[in-house]
């Protein structure tokens, strides 16, 4: 087992990888040697258990979270086998309830219970539910973009990605991200940066490498606002201020020439159908299915859209 302390985001991803590995295999995590000593030897699955104690610790907190199907399968299985902390790692009792199994034997019991959950209907239907939700959000975003772009002859579109520095990610909890997003949304009401804003889209997501982050787009009346690169910089600097230096940003507008004919940011004309399609594609990136949150605080919404002014 590893003694490296993982961030909350990394722990959830480790659990997901473990459950997916169990789902796609038929082997235990450890096998008993054929020789008389009966020592347990690792299999391909055993490497996914390096952070098992931190994985279990995720569910020992009092916070009210909604978990992905992978985390739920892990949580339910851990509770079913009644894992307890031991000097060599988590252990559970034998079927007769007369004594504790070894760490390796206990993890094999956990594997079998997780594997059973991955075969249940509620678990197997979640993938299609995610795809359905992503398609619905894509359509909602298209409708929203149509309303925003239809308001004025020209609309300035600004896209920024809002991240946390690696040292901040180490201590970052998902509710912290939503608190920071709330501060950003509220800042729109009194910061001059957002004068002539006509709408916004923000999505909280989670990546294997960058952890929790936010993809954001802001729309402005193109008759009153120009200089999209400067506007993106100001929004990014505001994010750094909101996060007290824990955050940093990437401005898509700084590199919009790289998008070529597919550019959906910068100045967009209402009557230009090709530009509108490009904006659709740019905004749909915000709800891609492969960076969904594995843990959600309460009933928080991962996607937020503003009311047009």
DSSP state of 293: -
Which residues are CB-neighbours of 204 under 8 A, at least 6 positions away? 174, 177, 178, 181, 212, 213, 214, 293, 300, 302, 303
Structural domain count of the chain: 2
Residue 208 covered by a domain: yes
> What is the overall mean pLDDT for the chain?
92
**In terms of domains, do 161 and 291 share one?**
yes
Residue 112 covered by a domain: yes
**In terms of domains, do 13 and 68 share one?**
yes
pLDDT at 309: 47
**In terms of domains, do 115 and 147 share one?**
no
**In terms of domains, do 153 and 300 share one?**
yes
Lowest mean pLDDT among 5-14, 84-93, 272-281, 287-296: 287-296
State yes or no: pLDDT of 130 exceeds 90: no
List phi, psi (to 5°) of 155. Answer: -130, 130
Residue 3 covered by a domain: no
Average pLDDT of 123-146?
Answer: 91
Residue 2 covered by a domain: no
Instruction: Kindly state the tokens that stand for 66.
Output: 């909604």
Instruction: Kindly state the tokens that stand for 102.
Output: 């070894």
Q: What is the pTM of this model?
A: 0.91
**In terms of domains, do 182 and 294 share one?**
yes
Q: 211: domain range?
A: 131-305
Whole-angstrom distance, CA of residue 195 vs CA of residue 193: 6
Q: What is the band of 284 on the pLDDT scale with cuts at 50, 70, 90?
A: confident
DSSP state of 308: P
């Amino acid at each position: 087992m590893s003694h490296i302390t993982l961030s909350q985001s990394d722990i959830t991803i480790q659990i997901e990888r473990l459950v997916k590995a169990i789902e796609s295999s038929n082997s235990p995590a450890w096998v008993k040697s054929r020789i008389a000593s009966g020592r347990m030897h690792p299999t391909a699955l055993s490497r996914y258990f390096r952070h098992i104690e931190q994985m279990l610790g995720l569910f020992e907190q009092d916070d009210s979270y909604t978990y992905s199907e992978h985390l739920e399968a892990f949580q339910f299985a851990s509770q079913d086998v009644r894992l307890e902390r031991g000097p060599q790692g988590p252990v559970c009792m034998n079927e007769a309830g007369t004594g504790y199994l070894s760490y390796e034997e206990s993890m094999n019991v956990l594997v079998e219970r997780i594997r059973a959950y991955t075969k249940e209907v509620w678990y197997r239907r979640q993938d299609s539910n995610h795809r359905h939700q992503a398609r619905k959000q894509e359509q909602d975003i298209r409708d929203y973009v149509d309303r925003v772009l239809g308001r004025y002859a020209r609309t300035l579109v600004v896209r920024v990605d809002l991240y946390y520095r690696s040292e901040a990610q180490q201590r970052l909890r998902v509710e912290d991200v939503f608190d920071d997003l709330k501060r950003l949304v509220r800042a729109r009401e009194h910061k001059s940066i957002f004068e002539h804003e006509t709408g916004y889209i923000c999505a909280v997501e989670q990546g294997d490498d960058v952890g929790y982050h936010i993809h954001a787009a802001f729309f402005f009346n193109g008759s009153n606002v120009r200089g999209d690169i400067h506007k993106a910089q100001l929004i990014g600097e505001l994010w750094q201020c909101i996060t007290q230096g824990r955050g940093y940003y990437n401005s898509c507008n700084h590199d919009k020439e790289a998008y070529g004919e597919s550019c959906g940011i910068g100045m967009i004309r209402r009557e230009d159908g090709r530009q509108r399609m490009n904006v659709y594609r740019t905004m749909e990136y915000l709800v891609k299915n492969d960076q969904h949150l594995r843990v959600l605080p309460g009933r928080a919404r991962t996607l937020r859209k503003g009311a047009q002014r």
